[in-house]
């Protein structure tokens, strides 16, 4: 009988992608959700069970972990209590003899000037020192960051991101990351490992705009969004002030340094080449 996997953050874009891949491998998944109303959609995606609770509530975490053998933790984005949340999950995992704790982190958590990264680094340390069999997954920036601006790209020919147009990124397809996560959960031999997961190509926003232009058959111009506009857009979406501040800090850092990584580990886990940016755009254009 397959071991039941608890998946946190299951209703987010990353969680849903991982859930689909786990179900595709016929693995039983119990989803940890904030609202029972989310259950029907996740059940339709193949989830086998659910637990309702708050990641800041240690008791609800303990109840959710009970009866599971593995755990995949996808934390809430840029949450200031990342370490506390994960510590509660670790405590519950130790109590209930979880055999494999998979933590979805970020590539280059040692970039301490970016608190989003720094919090992940502190959390990784807690997990490593817990004694639990763990795997830490460190994904780079998603190709899917194109999705929110896709209509504007197609209609207006403008590809605008919150950093300069020449800084380089090894963006990665979330579908590849989700597949890799599911493989790590399904296979033995991934214990006590930290995996950097990056895409195949180092691309600037200018490079990405050129690829999009070729795929959709019309000119696309790369533009940089100011940090002031990032701040205004984030507030307009209802993000709290802490998250707004962290988004500005993160994008300023990426504007200065880019975000580069190596695809070899992802290629090894998948057993194939990671998705090219052109392939992702073609898939999006054909949808």
* pLDDT tens, position by position, 5-35: 999 999 999 999 999 999 999 999 999 999 9
Domain boundaries, the chain: 5-141+172-199+261-275
The C-alpha angle 119, 125, 129, rounded to 5 degrees, equals 150
What pLDDT does residue 1 have? Answer: 53
Distance between CA atoms of residues 177 and 239, nearest Å: 26
The per-residue pLDDT for 139 is 98
- Given a contact cutoff of 8 angstroms between Cβ atoms, the answer to whether 84 and 65 are in contact is no
What is 5-141+172-199+261-275's CATH number? Answer: 3.40.50.720
Helical residues (DSSP H) of the chain, grouped into ranges: 13-24, 39-44, 58-65, 82-95, 115-128, 150-156, 174-186, 205-216, 227-236, 241-257, 264-270, 277-286
| pTM, full prediction | 0.95
Asked if 186 and 102 touch (Cβ cutoff 8 Å), the reply is: no
Reduced to 3 states, what is the DSSP secondary structure of residue 28?
coil
Rounded CA separation 208/258 (Å): 14
pLDDT at 243: 86
Cα distance between residue 228 and residue 230, in whole Å? 5
Residues of the chain with pLDDT under 70: 1
Instruction: Give the span between the Cα atoms of 52 and 187, in whole angstroms.
Output: 28
């Amino acid at each position: 009988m397959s071991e039941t996997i608890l998946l946190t953050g299951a209703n987010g874009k990353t969680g849903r992608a991982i859930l689909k891949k786990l179900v595709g491998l016929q693995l039983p998944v119990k989803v940890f959700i904030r609202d029972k109303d989310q259950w029907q959609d996740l059940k339709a995606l193949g989830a086998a069970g659910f637990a309702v609770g708050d990641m800041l509530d240690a008791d609800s975490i303990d109840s959710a972990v009970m009866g599971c053998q593995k755990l995949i933790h996808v934390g809430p984005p840029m949450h200031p209590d990342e370490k506390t949340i994960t510590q509660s999950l670790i405590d519950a995992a130790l109590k209930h003899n979880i055999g494999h704790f998979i933590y979805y982190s970020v590539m280059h958590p040692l970039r301490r000037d970016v608190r989003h990264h720094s919090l992940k680094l502190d959390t990784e340390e807690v997990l490593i020192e817990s004694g639990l069999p763990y795997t830490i997954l460190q994904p780079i920036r998603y190709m899917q960051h194109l999705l929110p601006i896709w209509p504007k790209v197609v209609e207006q020919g403008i590809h605008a991101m919150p950093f300069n147009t020449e800084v380089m990124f090894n963006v990665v397809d979330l579908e590849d990351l989700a597949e890799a996560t599911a493989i790590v959960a399904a296979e033995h031999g991934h214990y006590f490992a930290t995996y950097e997961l990056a895409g195949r190509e180092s691309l600037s926003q200018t490079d990405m705009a050129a690829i999009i232009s070729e795929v959709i058959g019309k000119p696309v111009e790369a533009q940089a969004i100011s940090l002031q506009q990032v701040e205004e857009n984030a507030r307009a979406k209802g993000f709290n002030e802490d998250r707004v501040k962290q988004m500005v800090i993160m994008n300023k850092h990426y504007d200065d340094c880019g975000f580069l990584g190596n695809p070899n580990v992802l290629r090894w886990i998948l057993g194939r080449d990671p998705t090219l940016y052109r392939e992702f755009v073609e898939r999006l254009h054909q949808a």
